[in-house]
Amino acid sequence: MSLLEPLVIGPCRLENNLILAPMAGVTDLPFRNLCRRLGAGMAVSEMVHASPRLRGSGKSRQRLDHTGELAPVVVQILGNEPSAMAEAARYNVARGAQIIDINMGCPAKKVCRKAAGSALLADEALVGRILTAVVAAVEAPVTLKIRTGTDPDRRNALRIARIAEQCGIALLTIHGRTRADRFDGAAEYDTIAEVCAASSLPVIANGDITSAQKAEAVLRHTGAAGVMIGRAAQGNPWIFREIAAWLSDGETMAPPTAEERRAVLLGHLEALYRFYGVVQGVRIARKHIGWYLAGLPGGGEMVRQVNRIDDHHRQFAQVAAFLGDY
């Protein structure tokens, strides 16, 4: 039986159960749409803070721009105050969000110092109040992303899942590390399997899913409804179609040809220039170029050269010439 299946979240029916993870500074609109076109069933936005004070910043305005976004539009909100989170959900639904995702998984120190993200897992009563408030605030489905707990001695994902069920959460994503783990060590999937076995919620497995074969192994081990891909998609948006082919019929897809790699990267650069403007677009593009060219012969030196270029025409031409030779 195929492990690649449609996924239903409220009124939204996804083509498949492969999801692009929200990553700050990475999953902007150009990258979300690119991953969708290359096989992701859904792509989650960078996190948007619930504080109204931050909505006027340039960064927030860009994160709230869904012009031309492939449906469903999923906005992840971050905060620790139930009424503010509820208001943020309403604000984003009014601006086009079709699904609201709540961030209780981010381990970044600057987030956790403000008792948000994965720090919330230590206060289960507050978790319940936030989830209740957000679900009541909007008609759009509300999903939740968590870690397995605050640290390896205090894994409480199963209790959080039960709270999420009671509060009306539509889907739960679990990263297989604790807050204390950050991104160190290997993700563990036994906790995710425990939640899948005990919860009525569809559960998405996240963490260290770097290949089609790993995606299959995680789905079989956990019984999850789907997988979420994060860092493995950086510079490799083709991973979604590779996983889709493997899960549907065991087909191993050939890696992208040099011509396709060139077309996708150059198209991505053009989308970044349009979205951010050429000055900011050049800066944002540098990290993506580094990820795309990693491992290619001469890629490291090319990245060093590109990082010294401030003009978008020169940046584009330099990358195009390099890939033309490659």
How many residues make up the chain in this entry? Answer: 326
Say how far apart CA 91 and CA 87 lie, in whole Å.
Answer: 6
Q: For the chain, list the domains and their CATH numbers.
A: 7-249 (3.20.20.70), 258-325 (1.10.1200)
Q: What is the pLDDT of residue 115?
A: 61
Q: Are 30 and 271 in contact (CB under 8 A)?
A: yes
Q: What is the pLDDT of residue 107?
A: 79
Could you tell me which residues come within 8 angstroms of residue 149 by beta carbon, excluding any fewer than 6 positions away?
A: 121, 155, 156, 157, 178, 179, 191
Active site residues: 106
Q: What is the pTM of this model?
A: 0.95
Name beta bridge partners: 13. 8
What are the b/e assignments for 33-61, b being 16+ CB within 10 Å? bbbbebbbbbbbbbbbbbeeeeeeeeebe
Q: Are 269 and 315 in contact (CB under 8 A)?
A: yes
Ordered per-residue pLDDT tens for the chain, 326 residues: 689 999 999 999 999 999 999 999 999 999 999 999 999 999 999 999 998 877 766 677 788 889 999 999 999 999 999 999 999 999 999 999 999 999 998 877 666 556 678 889 999 999 999 999 999 999 999 999 999 999 888 999 999 999 999 999 999 999 999 998 889 999 999 999 999 999 999 999 999 999 999 999 999 999 999 999 999 999 999 999 999 999 999 989 989 999 999 999 999 999 999 999 999 999 999 999 999 999 899 999 999 999 999 999 999 999 999 998 65
